[in-house]
Structure formats: C-alpha cells, structure tokens
C-alpha cells in the first residue's frame, strides 16, 4: 500500500479538509452524551437548576445559610450577592421576576463567571443541605420532642436562633461534622442534592420553576439538535471528499496502468496474462478504492472517537474504567484472531479471480472451437472448478467476517449490562448520578464502535494490500524497449529503404537464437516476400522492424538510420502494419478505417477500401461505411476482416507496409486483384509480405526463404526454383510444375 502512497499527493488538501471535518464530527458525537447526561441530571432530576448557587434568595433564608458558612467563605458569598429591598433603585426591575420582594428583602446574584460559580457551589450547596437537614429534623419531631446534637429539645424550638446564639467555635464544630458527610458525596452530588432546596426557595420567591425546567431542557435539546446537524453535515462532506479522493486515485491508477501496459513490448506482455492485467486494472483497483474511502472515513475518525470516548468516560467515572479496559482486550483478541485467519485467504482470492477471468475469457473467445469439438461439458467443468474454488474461499472469509459482528454485539450488550449493574450500585450509594451512568454507557458504546470500525479496516487492508502489490508489479516494470534519451529524426521525405545487417534475435530467457545473421535490403517500390515452413521465424523477423521486440545483435536501418536511434512513435509512423490475425474495434467500418488517420478524407477512406477489395461487401450493406462492427469484428467474416485491416493500413499512406500473412483468408481471385491494385496505387512504398502461398508471393521482386531462423535463399521466384531446395519443396507442395512455370 505504501508503494502507491505517491498517488495520494494530488489529494492532500482534500484529505486535510476531511481530517478537520472528522475532528469536528467526532467532537460533536462525543458532546451528545454530555448533553443527554445534563438533561437527565440537571433538567429532570434537578428541575433545570444547573448549580447550587441560586440566582436569588430571601434574606431570611440567607441568614440561615450563613450559619453553616465559615467566616472566610461568608465574605466570598456576600461579595457576589446584592441585597435588594423596596428602597433599592432596581426594585421595580426585580419585583417582576421575584414577587416575594414586595414582602421581604432578597439577595440577587451578581453577574459572575463560571469559575466563581464553581467555587461557590460546594460552599452554598453544603449550606443548603445543612439548612434542609435542620428543617427536616424539626419536621420529623415526634411527641413534641426533637433531638439536636444529642440534646432533647421541644419541637417548637427555633433551631436556627439557637444555632445563632452558640459560640462560633461550637457552631463550626457542628458544621464540620455535617460537612464531612456532605463532602463525601462529591460536588456533582452536592449540587443535585441541593437542587430540591433551591427549587423550594425559588417557589418561595414566586418564580415559575416549571418554566425554568422546560427552558433548560429545550435549550439543551436545541444544542443537541444543532450538534447532530453539524455532525451530519460533516459526515456528508467527508463522504463526498472520501469518494472523490478514492475515485480520483482509482482514475489515476487505471490511467497509469493502461499507459504502462501500452508501453509494454511483447517481452513484458509475456510476463502477464491478459486476464490478469484486466483483473489488476479493474478488481484490484476497486479494492484499493474501497479501502481509501473507508480509510478516510474510519481510520482517522475511529482513533479520535476512541481516544475521546475514553477521556470523556473517565471524566464521568474512573471507578468503572476497568469495564472499558476489559471490553477493549476482548475486542483486540477477537480482531487479532480474525486477522490471522483471513489474511492468507485474501492473497488466494485475487489469484482465483485471475483464474476465473482466464477461463471465462477462453470460453467466450473460443466458443466456436468448443462447439465444433463438442467439449461443452469439459469447459463447463473447468469453469465450475474455477468458480467453486473462488466461491468456497470467499465463503470461508465471509463466514469468518460474519462471526465478527455477533461477537461484537455480544461484547457491546455485555458491556451495557455490566455498566448498568455496577452503575446502579454506585447510584444507590450516591456516588454517581443517573445521567452520568447513561453517558458512560454511551461513551463505552462509542469506544467499542471505534474498534468495530477499525476491525473493518483490518479486514479490508490485507486484501487491498495484496491488490496494491499486484498493481505495483505492473507499474514497477521498466519496458525493455525504450526511446533513446536524445533521439534522432528521419528526414522530411522518408524513402522507406529497409536494411537488415547481421540481425540475430532470441526470446528473453531462451538459450538459442530464433533468428541468426539475417541480412537483406528491401527497396522502395519493390515487394520483399518471406516464406518458410512453420516456425522458421517469418513473423518474428517482421515484428523486429516496428520494434515489437528488440534485436539481440546486428542493426535494422531505415534510410540508413538505426531504428533504435529514433522514437518508437516516429518509427511506427512510417509503417503500415497488417497483423497475422486481423483485429477490428467496436464501432463502424469508417471509425475502424480512420483508426490509422483521424484526419483522412472520405475519398481516402473509399480509395483504401477499393484497393483492399472491400468496397463490394461494404456497399451491400444499406448503411455502407456506417455499418456497425462488433467487438473484435465478430460480425464479419475472416476474409472481410483481413480486407478491412489492409484498408486501414492503406489509409495511413505509409512508406513501409508490412503484411504478416494477411492474405491467407482471401480467395485466389481476390488475392490477385488486391495485390495488383496495391502495386498500381502504392508503387513508391516498400512492401514486406509474409506468405504461406506461393501464388501470393511469386511475383515479388525479392523472395527470402527462411529455415530454422536462417536465410537459405534470396532471389526471384524463377531464381529460387533453380537454386533453393527449400523453396522448391514448398512450391511443389502447393502447385504443379505447369502452374509454377
């Protein structure tokens, strides 16, 4: 995968934007449980009262509260509250919010920051709890007697007045004992416990406590909705960026692979099967595209969510952190086991896809042969074997992956039950709030979900890694046939004189030369023909001129210039090539003929078709040159395909024409007419013809006879009939002496 990392460089900006959006999305997702916790704790349980510091309190109540506040803290409290009475300038403003102001003075909280409120929370909260405890003590009195600090007192005793008369040291001692019990609850529980007393105080002030509660819940709900919308927007944007990045990466990879394959010589093509190259260009790149999408959306997001979830969960409760640790250990073991089982199979799957493509391609392209030999059953069995092997391997991997999800759900549900079990005990012990337990549960789910997303990647990355390696194998190959660093150029007017000087050639890895010391000259305006038995090296020799292979020794010259000193484009621009097997492309007859020269005129197209003797069957079709050609030219006969291939080469108006046994599918009459027309219309060009039929080549100005890669005869037909035994044997095997005369 890392070897293809350079293909991500054009998309670095988009990836950075995606990372920022993912961070925002993660923060939004991590904030939602906090707001949910606040709604439960503060909105529902505390009635919308966010802190133990009331925004207003009656003077009579404040006098009671200060009995349980130390002298040092009293200063802080008094500095942050303002006493309002009927003579105050703000009386009319506050009496609307606090109707009780008409009856008695009140203290109103000044505009202070959250830090100061956090400081006052435990001070005033403890005071409220202490006051409510004293009031409850009086309310619970039985038989007209109550117990206070170990002393029996009449039920109608004013305990607050009594406390006020006690010495400061004794009152501090009583408060200290109460503080120890309250402090053990923790700040959040102090606020929650004091909230009910504050709500009673607000009722006493004439405030609408129901409105306070509903306003808080609505406000928190709106924030949750806003965060959800932000998270959703980020998700959509990240999805778009991930898709565009992955699609762009795939486009560039396909382009480079296709360009690389186009630069391959026949030597490189021998290293890969066509089916394998197709699989690498399609399926393998698709695997990488899927991983890039998931990587951008999950690999970056999952760690942020997981780490953030752990921090948030620990902030809610450190005592239950062992539950998350246990879940993570179980998940890591689960993912590791699946990774170890699935990885070897992914390497096998891609090779099996190659095999299936190969078998399918052979069956479709060789359908006529299969039917003619009645081997349908055999081919069906061969396909079934390839298909079954791929299916069984895929099923095995999918079964392993399927087992992952129920296991994950089991872990998630087990963690939920464990959190509820432990959390319930802590709530009962007043060491945790209900909302905090719910938030902790959601954070635990987010952490597990982060690992679940990572498990997806652990499954996809190995397969994509195999695909990336296969793609890199194609991209890293340096073609054996390359252009020179400082190429030369042909003269403006190319004559087309071809000369082979002591040319030898052997295939890569072969022990012996296929061609040995080949030397000849092919002059413009003349036809040079090659003939020989099967395997004598005719097509191999012809393929050296356009540099489909590079020679091992010797030189090949065009107009005295070595073909290795010019670019492949310039070289092939001078050659009109008709391969042994005619190949047409899907489109029309016209589009196939224009393949040689897009700017060719209609007259040039028609003239080339006439020379190739293709006009007759073209005109038989009502659509003429607009007639459809199916893929590979499957809807035309072998002879028609050859004539169209010849016409396509003639459209190029090249100086050198190569016909690699291109007349074999033509009848003798068409063959003779075509060669005569070629001679008349393109007299200034050099013709190199590979033929098997004596009738095709007997009129050539120069015939070269090959046998086992060496030249055993050069001359005209008559000369070779006199002095070349190999040529005589070939000629007499096809025609009688009278016909050869």
What would the pLDDT profile of 535-580 be if each residue is shown by its tens digit? 888 888 998 999 888 899 999 999 989 999 999 889 988 898 888 7
Q: Assign 233 a pLDDT band (cuts: 50, 70, 90).
A: very high
Res. 141 pLDDT band, cuts 50 70 90 = low
Share of the chain above pLDDT 70, in %: 91
Higher pLDDT, 736 or 303: 303
Distances (CA, A) of 429 to 125, 193, 426, 434: 19, 13, 5, 12
Residue written as tokens 């008409």?
102
The pLDDT of residue 554 is 92
How many Cα atoms sit within 13 Å of 175 on the Cβ side? Answer: 25
pLDDT tens digits, one per residue of 519-534: 999 999 888 999 988 8
In this predicted structure, the answer to whether residue 177 has a pLDDT above a threshold of 60 is no
What is the average pLDDT value for the chain, to the nearest integer? 83
**pLDDT greater than 70 at residue 151:** no
The number of residues in the chain equals 741
Spatial contact of 383 and 359, defined as CB atoms under 8 Å apart: yes
CA distance 380 to 389: 14
Residue 503: pLDDT band with limits 50, 70, 90: very high
Q: What's the first-to-final CA gap in the chain, in angstroms?
A: 69
**Chain-centroid distance, C-alpha 446:** 23
What is the enclosing helix (H) or strand (E) of 713?
Answer: strand 710-715
pLDDT band of residue 694 (cuts 50, 70, 90) is: confident
Question: Would you state the pLDDT for residue 176?
Answer: 60
pLDDT tens readout for residues 9-36: 888 999 999 999 999 999 998 888 888 8
Q: Write down the pLDDT at residue 170.
A: 61
| pTM of structure | 0.71
Residue 332 has a pLDDT of 79
What is the spatial distance between Cα 244 and Cα 370, in angstroms, rounded to a whole number? 44
**Among 337-341, 602-606, 609-613, 710-714, which stretch is predicted with the lowest mean pLDDT?**
337-341
pLDDT for 553 equals 92
Element (H, E) at 527: strand 527-532
Using the predicted structure, report yes or no on whether residue 273 has a pLDDT greater than 80: no
pLDDT score for 695: 80
What pLDDT was estimated at residue 148?
60
Whole-angstrom distance, CA of residue 388 vs CA of residue 390: 5
Closest among 452, 459, 454 to 343, alpha carbons compared:
459
Mean pLDDT of 493-514: 88
Question: What does the pLDDT average to over 342-351?
Answer: 76
Q: What integer pLDDT is reported at residue 558 of this predicted model? A: 92
> Per-residue pLDDT for 381 more than 60?
yes
Exposure on the CB side of residue 365, measured as CA atoms within 13 A: 10
> What tokens appear for 611 in the block?
């020379």
Other CB atoms within 10 Å distance of the CB of residue 731: 21
Is 227 a residue whose pLDDT tops 70? yes
Phi (first) and psi of residue 353, to 5 degrees? -65, -40
Residues 489, 575: Cα–Cα separation, whole Å: 15
- Any alpha helices (H) in 39-186, and if so which ranges? 59-66, 71-79, 91-97, 114-139, 159-165, 168-183
151-154 and 498-505 beta bridge pairing: unpaired
Whether 605 contacts 588, CB under 8 Å: no
- 239-272 pLDDT, tens digit per residue, is 999 999 999 999 999 998 888 888 887 777 777 7
Residue 508: predicted pLDDT: 79
Residue 468 has pLDDT above 80, yes or no: yes
Pull the structure tokens for residue 37. 């916790």
Is the predicted pLDDT of residue 187 greater than 70, yes or no? no
Neighbouring C-beta atoms of residue 234, cutoff 10 Å: 22
In the predicted model, is pLDDT for residue 592 greater than 80?
yes
Q: How far apart are CA 608 and CA 648, in angstroms?
A: 7
- CA–CA distance, 676 with 654 (Å, rounded to integer): 18
pLDDT at position 166 over 70: no
pLDDT at 521: 92
């Amino acid at each position: 995968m890392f070897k293809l990392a350079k293909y991500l460089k054009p998309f670095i900006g988009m990836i950075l934007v995606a990372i920022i959006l993912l961070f925002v999305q993660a923060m939004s997702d991590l904030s939602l449980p906090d707001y949910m916790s606040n709604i439960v704790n503060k909105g529902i349980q505390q009635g919308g009262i966010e802190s133990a510091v009331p925004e207003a309190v009656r003077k009579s109540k404040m006098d009671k509260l200060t009995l349980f506040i130390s002298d040092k803290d009293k200063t802080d409290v008094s500095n942050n509250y303002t006493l309002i009475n009927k003579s105050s300038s703000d009386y009319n403003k506050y009496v609307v919010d606090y109707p009780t102001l008409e009856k008695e003075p009140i203290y109103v909280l000044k505009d202070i920051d959250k830090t100061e409120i956090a400081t006052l929370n435990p001070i005033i909260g403890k005071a409220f709890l202490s006051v409510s405890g004293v009031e409850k003590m009086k309310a619970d009195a039985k038989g007209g007697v109550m117990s206070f600090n170990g002393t029996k007192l009449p039920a109608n005793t004013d305990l607050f007045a009594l406390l006020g008369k006690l010495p400061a040291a004794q009152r501090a001692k009583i408060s200290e004992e109460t503080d120890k019990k309250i402090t053990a609850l923790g700040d959040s529980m102090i606020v929650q416990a004091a909230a009910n007393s504050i709500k009673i105080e607000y009722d006493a002030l004439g405030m609408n406590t129901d409105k306070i509660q509903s306003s808080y819940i609505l406000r928190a709900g709106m924030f949750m909705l806003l965060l959800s919308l932000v998270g959703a927007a980020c998700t959509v944007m990240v999805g778009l960026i991930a898709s565009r990045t992955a699609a762009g990466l795939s486009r560039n990879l396909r382009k480079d692979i296709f360009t690389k394959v186009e630069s391959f010589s026949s030597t490189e093509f021998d290293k890969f099967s066509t089916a394998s190259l197709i699989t690498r260009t399609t399926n393998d790149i698709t695997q990488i595209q899927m991983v890039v999408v998931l990587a951008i959306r999950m690999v970056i997001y999952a760690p942020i969510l997981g780490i953030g979830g752990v921090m948030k969960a620990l902030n809610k409760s450190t005592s239950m952190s062992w539950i998350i640790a246990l879940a993570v250990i179980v998940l890591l073991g689960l993912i590791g086991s699946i990774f170890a089982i699935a990885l070897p199979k992914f390497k096998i799957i891609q090779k099996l896809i190659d095999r299936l493509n190969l078998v399918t391609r052979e069956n479709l392209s060789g359908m006529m042969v299969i039917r003619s030999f009645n081997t349908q059953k055999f081919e069906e069995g061969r396909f079934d074997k390839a298909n079954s092997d791929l299916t069984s391997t895929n099923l095995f991997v999918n079964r392993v992956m399927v087992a992952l999800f129920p296991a994950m759900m089991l872990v998630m549900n087990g963690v939920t039950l464990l959190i509820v079990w432990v959390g319930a005990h802590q709530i009962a012990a007043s060491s945790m709030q209900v909302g905090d337990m719910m938030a902790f549960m959601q954070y635990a789910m987010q952490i597990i979900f982060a690992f679940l997303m990572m498990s997806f990647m652990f499954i996809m990355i190995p397969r994509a890694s195999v695909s990336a390696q296969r793609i890199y194998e194609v991209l890293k190959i340096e073609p054996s046939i390359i252009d020179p660093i400082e190429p030369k150029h042909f003269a403006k007017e190319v004559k087309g004189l071809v000369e082979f000087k002591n040319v030898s050639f052997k295939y890569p890895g072969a022990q012996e030369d296929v061609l040995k010391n080949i030397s000849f000259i092919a002059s413009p305006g003349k036809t040079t023909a090659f003939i020989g038995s099967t395997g004598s090296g005719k097509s191999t020799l012809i393929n050296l001129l356009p540099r489909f292979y590079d020679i091992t020794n010797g030189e090949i010259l065009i107009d005295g210039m070595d073909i290795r000193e010019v670019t492949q484009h310039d070289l092939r621009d001078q050659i009109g090539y008709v391969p042994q097997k005619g190949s047409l492309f899907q489109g029309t007859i016209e589009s196939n003929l224009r393949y040689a020269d897009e700017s060719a005129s209609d007259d040039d197209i028609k003239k080339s078709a006439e020379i190739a003797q293709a006009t007759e069957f073209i005109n038989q079709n009502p659509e003429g040159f607009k007639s459809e050609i199916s893929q590979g030219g499957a809807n035309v006969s072998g002879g028609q395909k050859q004539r169209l291939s010849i016409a396509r080469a003639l459209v190029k108006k090249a100086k050198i024409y190569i016909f690699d046994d291109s007349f074999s599918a033509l009848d003798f009459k068409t063959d003779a007419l075509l060669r005569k027309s070629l001679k008349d219309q393109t007299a200034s060009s050099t013709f190199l013809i590979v033929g098997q039929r004596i009738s095709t080549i007997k009129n050539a100005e120069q015939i070269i006879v090959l046998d086992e890669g060496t030249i055993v005869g050069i001359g005209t037909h008559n000369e070779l009939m006199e002095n070349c035994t190999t040529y005589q044997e070939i000629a007499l095997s096809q025609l009688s002496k009278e016909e050869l005369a």
